[in-house]
Amino acid sequence: MNDSSQSIRAWRVFGALALAALVSCQSAPITHRPQLMIMDGGTELALGNEVYQDMISQAIVVKDARLNRLIMTVGRRVAAATGRGDMGWEFTLVDKEAPNAYCLPGGKVVINSGILPIAQNEAGLAAVIAHEAGHAIARHGAERGSHARVRDLGLELVNMGLGHTLAEKTKMRLAWGVDFVMSLAFPFSRTHELEADEMGLVYMARAGYDPREALEFWERMVEYGYDEKKTLLEFLSTHPADKTRLRKIRLLIPKVMKEYDKTDKLGMGGQIL
Ligand SMILES: [Zn+2]
């Protein structure tokens, strides 16, 4: 590559970064946390649909009519409470032992049957669905993708702009530096998990489910041993340690009880199993 085409490329990358900075003025609902977001909604939705179809085609979908009705009822109540009726909400229960659930962009929710005994009642299930809905509504996946793109562009700029003057070793160190600063400035998993908890509490309370049941649910998860191995690695783990999570949820309860008090109060709802 000659000098002029290299500098044109460098300016293009610089332009893309500047554009990223310009269009990044977005914030998550409920928490109002500013977000860097350069992935467009269309791309995010297409990716989400693809993953959702993949997940369902590779899993055994539970046929039990009563359980499916229950998932639909709780799911629709939570979805309505998010104020995002425009999202194409879908709820699928799959036969899988690991206690987990996912919500892909666009409101495509996959619930593993293994989480039902821990959810115990409708409010526990609402806590799970509302937490997952929080991830999707705050576009956490797209935010992660946006950061990765900006990081790549930054590295490319380091590489091109300083390509002639720096030794490979120094460039490598700079690249690590970019990654390091990004990871310090945006410790995603922790932030995203706690944000989804906060949003979820508000949504489940607005749906009429007692938000205190979310705390009960997470306490049962701790008992079950979820994240047990990761507690020592709190800083690095993809989920915040459970003690932190429980403490934060406990702190949020008085605020969300006000939302709950405005509803017809479904309490913990019916038992699941
Ligand atoms: Zn989560």
- 52-93 pLDDT per residue, tens: 999 999 999 999 999 999 999 999 999 999 999 999 999 999
CA-CA distance, 160 to 157, in Å (whole number)?
5
Give the Cα separation of 35 and 145 in Å (integer): 12
According to the model, what pLDDT value does residue 17 have?
A: 59
Q: How many angstroms separate the CA atoms of 9 and 20, rounded?
A: 16
Residue among 90, 132, 198, 259 flagged as catalytic: 132
Q: Vertex 199, ends 202 and 102: CA angle to 5°?
A: 120
Output the pTM of the full model: 0.83
Residue 166 Cα to ligand 1 midpoint, Å, equals 42
Domain boundaries, the chain: 1-39+118-273
In the residue annotation, 156 being an active-site residue is answered as no
* Neighbour-count burial for 231-251, b at 16+ CB within 10 Å, e otherwise: eeeeeebebbbbeebbeebee
Give the containing element (helix H, strand E) for 185.
helix 168-185
**Distance in Å, CA 180 to ligand 1 centroid:** 24
